[in-house]
Structure 1
Amino acid sequence: MARRAFILVETTKPNGVGPLYVQAAHRLGLHPIALSSDPVQYEYLAAKKVEVIRVNPDDLDASIQICSRLRATYEIAGITSANDSVYATVGWLCRYFDLPGPNPASIERCCDKFAQRQLLAEAGVPIPACRLATNAMDVESAAAEIGLPVVLKPAVGAGSRGVRLCRNMDELADHTTYLLGGKHIWQSSPRILVEEFAQGPLYGAHTMGNQVIGIVAADFGPLPHFVYRHFTFPAPLSDDEHKRIADVSLSSLRALGLGWGPANIEVRWTKHGPVVIEVNPRLSGTPDPQLVQAAYGVDLVSEHIRLVIGEEWNLRRRYSHTAAARILVPDHDGTLDWIGDDSRAAALSGVAEVKLYAEPKTPIVRKGDSRDWIGHVVAASPGRAETEAILQRAVDLIGWSITPFPTTSKEVQSASFRLP
């Protein structure tokens, strides 16, 4: 009998959920094979002895040829990805090989943030006011029509890259210049979404198929950037608030033609109630799967793989705890001298996971998005207050030192930093 291969298209880096997919595939008795345009960036694949084949996932024909050759040696059990940019390709590959997978046309529409918002608005799903712009004049006109402050973001992208709150005309002009002046790397032709700044607590609904698994509360660091700092799962919501967020999330999936596999829906609770900020038609990234597993004992990655390979999947809660995560983010640029030993924090009772992404001597250049993360800590316990206390104790055990880059006067200052 041929060995069962699990194809992972363009996985994610070590601080993402890519390693979780590799580990889960091994546990399920599958042979993971990665397809990537740049295998070198995924060092952990070599460490786990994962076969990697170089191919540009944007080239559907080339990807089909690779998978067809693999079928001569393996039984291809399933194909998936945790990466937005190639998830539509995954859908087309699944259709070609008659495997379970997402609707590729729905994924393509959803990954275009403006097309997504048009479909949501047509279905009556509450969203912020938004306009599409391709030049500075369009941006200024859209901002004047919507009213400051506004959020500028690329129409295609993830990880908050290129996303910024613009509170006045100077900030609007500066960020427009950044986006259109060659500094931002575009995944497609330059198209900017100018969006009303919906104010209120941020939540994320995690779904699988047409089932809401749970809702997470999330907090960002200082504006004007949107860099996540803290997560709590499940979110502290009343029954009515939970129902309204769940209802608007499922309405979003219907409006976008989704409903197969995982998705996560970002929602702001405004003075008018829940407003959908964004729908991501794939499993949420770190630390959300770890939070769900720590709180409910549900392994979303394994259950997603089971769905992908056509097996029965199970989202039944094993228990009901509260989990929380803290993202480690430096407060200034420079060279990372050292970062604390994570073993003491990991050894604390109630700590589910500690991951440090940065190595000593790494240059730290903050970009105002998820690339600023240098680690995370996840904790869980039966109660929210207890969980937060455990999380804070763990974070307090992790410190780092960053030497700022030399100034024009050649002075070098050293600064140590611990999260408050």
Structure 2
Amino acid sequence: MGVDTFVGFGRGMSEQDKKERWLVAVTAGRWQMHGIRMAQRAGLRVFAVDGSDDAPGLAIADHAMVVDARSPQAVVEAVRGSGIEPSGAIAFVSEVGMLPASAVREQWRLPGHDSGVVRRLLDKQLQRELWDQAGVPSPQWRRAGSLAEVQTAVAELGLPVIIKPVDCAGSRGVTRVESKMEIADAVQKALSATRSGRLLVESFMEGVEYAVETFFHQGVAHVLAVTGKKKVPGSRGTVAMELATPDLPAAVVEKIGMTAVQALTALGYRDGPGHTEIILQSGDRPGLVETAGRGGGFMVFDAMAQMASGYDLPTACALQAVGLPPPSCVVDRQAVVLRFFPTVPGTVRRLDGFDEANRLPGVVTGSFMTVGSVVGVASCDGDRLGFILSRAATPAQAQTLADTAEAMIHIEIS
């Protein structure tokens, strides 16, 4: 969609509107909405762009346009054509929007990372190269672009391996391969997900996976949350069904968090949210899976990071993006559980009980789908029916709360 096919939302902008402090939000899907709302609550005006006129964030933004949000040029032209003078640009939880947001920042000389840093954040091969140079603990890996190259890489690394695109998020195109018979299908899956045609083959790291949520400001990193992952049975460890505060020694948790900080720092990252995945191997050795210079989706950025730390991450990111100081980061740790209901093949016949569960203190729940939705096997992070988010003083108490909430929720698929 070109810039000549804009669709405006809301009222037209007056001269006074144009003088306000505007934040450009690149993409406006479900997981961008909380960031948009918190920016507005902080006194900013939000100009949202997205490639779909159904994107819900467009309806709540102060001004919005439908434009190819993957195209840096199209987004820059959209902002220029709007008549506003942007104060900042951000892609709260969207990898697709990160490069166009950096183009807006470069065009108007706004705060935040330039396209050079952003390209490092989006290219998993380049990340691996930089991490190796910086000594960040990582698996062995090879780049590939064809079945033959993948087969050569597997022969060098040995099975099992992870095959993934260099340019996808949310577990799309990722497969754990355990036998030679599975290689061809894994390569096809990865190639169908990538826009670049480039793949990574990585040695498999045995251990428990952890997610780390961070916030950087002027090069200073704050670790907001470290959560252990449980995976969907049958997904071979590629799709998470729960993130929960681990019952680990403080020194081990700190080691996991610092590995995430090292990973982002090695890419030149200085400002903004971070979402990093790490495997804790035998001997408490961290191994880096991947990182992202954005918030985590599916309630991680919206609520989990704040519930775990007491820090308002979305507001901090919005203020930082327009050059205003974010709130001082004083972390008040709480135990959390973020549990998902993965899809199974069939049609959703019943999906209720969330309202009742939301009455529990320390619990937030919600559905991602509706009755009548046709769903399949959970193969990526998008294959989720709903969530439970609980908070308590200890990991055990948070788990008990999540269990209580789950017993109140009814899901039927046939």
TM-score, normalization: structure 1? 0.87
CA contact (8 A) 2:274 2:294 kept: yes
Residue 141 of structure 1 is matched in structure 2 by 152
Residue 411 of structure 1 is matched in structure 2 by none
User: Residue 319 of structure 2 aligns to which amino acid in structure 1?
Assistant: R
1:67 aligns with 2:79: yes
CA contact (8 A) 1:213 1:315 kept: no
CA contact (8 A) 1:36 1:57 kept: yes
CA contact (8 A) 2:36 2:61 kept: no
1:397 aligns with 2:408: yes
CA contact (8 A) 1:336 1:361 kept: yes
Per the TM alignment, residue 389 of structure 1 is displaced from its structure 2 partner at its CA by 0.6
**Separation (CA, whole Å) in 1 of partners of 2:277 and 2:144:** 23
Structure 1, residues 287-317: CA drift from partner, whole Å, max 9, x if none? 3231222233211111111111111112534
Residue 39 of structure 1 is matched in structure 2 by 53
Residue 329 of structure 1 is matched in structure 2 by 342
Residue 66 of structure 2 is matched in structure 1 by 54
Match of 1:6 among 8, 23, 38: 23
Residue 21 of structure 1 is matched in structure 2 by 35
Per the TM alignment, residue 269 of structure 1 is displaced from its structure 2 partner at its CA by 0.8
User: Residue 142 of structure 1 aligns to which amino acid in structure 2?
Assistant: A
Per the TM alignment, residue 52 of structure 1 is displaced from its structure 2 partner at its CA by 2.4
SS in 1 for 2:153: helix
User: Residue 206 of structure 2 aligns to which amino acid in structure 1?
Assistant: Q
Structure 1, residues 93-122: CA drift from partner, whole Å, max 9, x if none? 112112111232121023111111011011
After superposition, where does 1:200-219 map in structure 2 within 5 Å? Answer: 200-209=207-216, 210-214=220-224, 215-219=226-230
Structure 1, residues 131-165: CA drift from partner, whole Å, max 9, x if none? 11111111111111101011111111000001111
After superposition, where does 1:214-253 map in structure 2 within 5 Å? Answer: 214=224, 215-222=226-233, 223-224=235-236, 226-233=238-245, 235-253=246-264
**Separation (CA, whole Å) in 2 of partners of 1:241 and 1:230:** 20
Per the TM alignment, residue 383 of structure 1 is displaced from its structure 2 partner at its CA by 2.1
SS in 2 for 1:33: strand
CA contact (8 A) 2:354 2:366 kept: yes
Per the TM alignment, residue 62 of structure 1 is displaced from its structure 2 partner at its CA by 2.8
SS in 2 for 1:249: helix
Residue 304 of structure 1 is matched in structure 2 by 317
User: Residue 318 of structure 2 aligns to which amino acid in structure 1?
Assistant: I
For structure 2, list consecutive stretches of 5 or more residues without a partner in the other structure.
1-15
Residue 282 of structure 1 is matched in structure 2 by 294
1:349 aligns with 2:361: yes
**Separation (CA, whole Å) in 1 of partners of 2:405 and 2:324:** 38
Match of 2:175 among 164, 170, 173: 164
Per the TM alignment, residue 380 of structure 1 is displaced from its structure 2 partner at its CA by 0.7
**Separation (CA, whole Å) in 1 of partners of 2:294 and 2:61:** 26
1:78 aligns with 2:88: yes
Per the TM alignment, residue 385 of structure 1 is displaced from its structure 2 partner at its CA by 1.4
**Separation (CA, whole Å) in 2 of partners of 1:375 and 1:23:** 21
**Separation (CA, whole Å) in 2 of partners of 1:110 and 1:319:** 29
SS in 1 for 2:318: helix
User: Residue 300 of structure 2 aligns to which amino acid in structure 1?
Assistant: D
SS in 2 for 1:328: strand
User: Residue 231 of structure 1 aligns to which amino acid in structure 2?
Assistant: L
**Separation (CA, whole Å) in 1 of partners of 2:265 and 2:338:** 30
**Separation (CA, whole Å) in 1 of partners of 2:167 and 2:125:** 9
Percent of paired sites with the same residue: 24
Which has the higher mean CA deviation after the structures are superposed, 54-63 or 334-343? 54-63
SS in 2 for 1:294: helix
CA contact (8 A) 2:58 2:65 kept: no
SS in 1 for 2:149: helix
**Separation (CA, whole Å) in 2 of partners of 1:356 and 1:50:** 27
After superposition, where does 1:346-385 map in structure 2 within 5 Å? Answer: 346-351=358-363, 353-385=364-396
Per the TM alignment, residue 39 of structure 1 is displaced from its structure 2 partner at its CA by 2.5
CA contact (8 A) 2:168 2:193 kept: no
User: Residue 123 of structure 1 aligns to which amino acid in structure 2?
Assistant: A
Which has the higher mean CA deviation after the structures are superposed, 144-153 or 317-326? 317-326
Number of equivalences: 389
User: Relative to 1, partners in 2 of residues 1:117 and 1:361: Cα closer, same or farther, differing over 3 Å?
Assistant: same
**Separation (CA, whole Å) in 2 of partners of 1:43 and 1:287:** 16
Match of 2:204 among 197, 208, 220: 197
**Separation (CA, whole Å) in 1 of partners of 2:142 and 2:327:** 40
Which has the higher mean CA deviation after the structures are superposed, 147-156 or 1-10? 1-10
User: Residue 322 of structure 2 aligns to which amino acid in structure 1?
Assistant: I
Residue 91 of structure 1 is matched in structure 2 by 102
SS in 1 for 2:206: coil
1:106 aligns with 2:120: no
CA contact (8 A) 1:88 1:105 kept: no
**Separation (CA, whole Å) in 2 of partners of 1:227 and 1:179:** 15
**Separation (CA, whole Å) in 1 of partners of 2:269 and 2:110:** 17
For structure 1, list consecutive stretches of 5 or more residues without a partner in the other structure.
404-420
Q: RMSD in angstroms over aligned alpha carbons?
A: 1.9
CA contact (8 A) 2:28 2:57 kept: no
**Separation (CA, whole Å) in 2 of partners of 1:28 and 1:266:** 30
